[in-house]
Amino acid sequence: MADSQFSAPSLPAHAAPHPMARPGYGKRTTPGQPPRTAADFTQLPPREAAVAAYIDRLADGADVSVKTLAKVLPYGQCALRTALNRIQAAGHLRRGRADQGLVIPTYRAGRARPDGTLAPVGYFAGRGEWTHPEGVLMVAEVTSHDSDTRRRDHGDKRVGYATAGIPVHLLVDRDTDSLIVHSEPDGDTYRLCRSYKYGDEVALPSPVDITLDTEKLRDYAG
pLDDT tens, residue by residue, 131-173: 999 999 999 999 987 788 888 999 999 999 999 999 999 999 9
Number of Cβ atoms within 10 Å of the Cβ of 13:
4
Average pLDDT value over all residues in the chain: 86
The pLDDT, as a whole number, for residue 5 is 30
The pLDDT, as a whole number, for residue 2 is 37
Q: Give me the helices (H) in the chain, please.
A: 46-57, 66-72, 77-89, 149, 157-163
Least confident of 26-35, 77-86, 140-149: 26-35
Pair type for strands 130-131 and 116-118: unpaired
- DSSP string across 26-51: S--PPTTPPPP-TTTTTTS-HHHHHH
Q: Is residue 8 predicted with pLDDT exceeding 70?
A: no
Percent of residues in the chain assigned helix, strand, coil, to nearest 5: 25, 20, 55
Amino acid at 53: A
Q: Are 118 and 125 in contact (CB under 8 A)?
A: no
- pTM, to two decimals: 0.59
Give the model confidence (pLDDT) of 110-133 as tens digits: 999 898 899 998 888 778 778 999
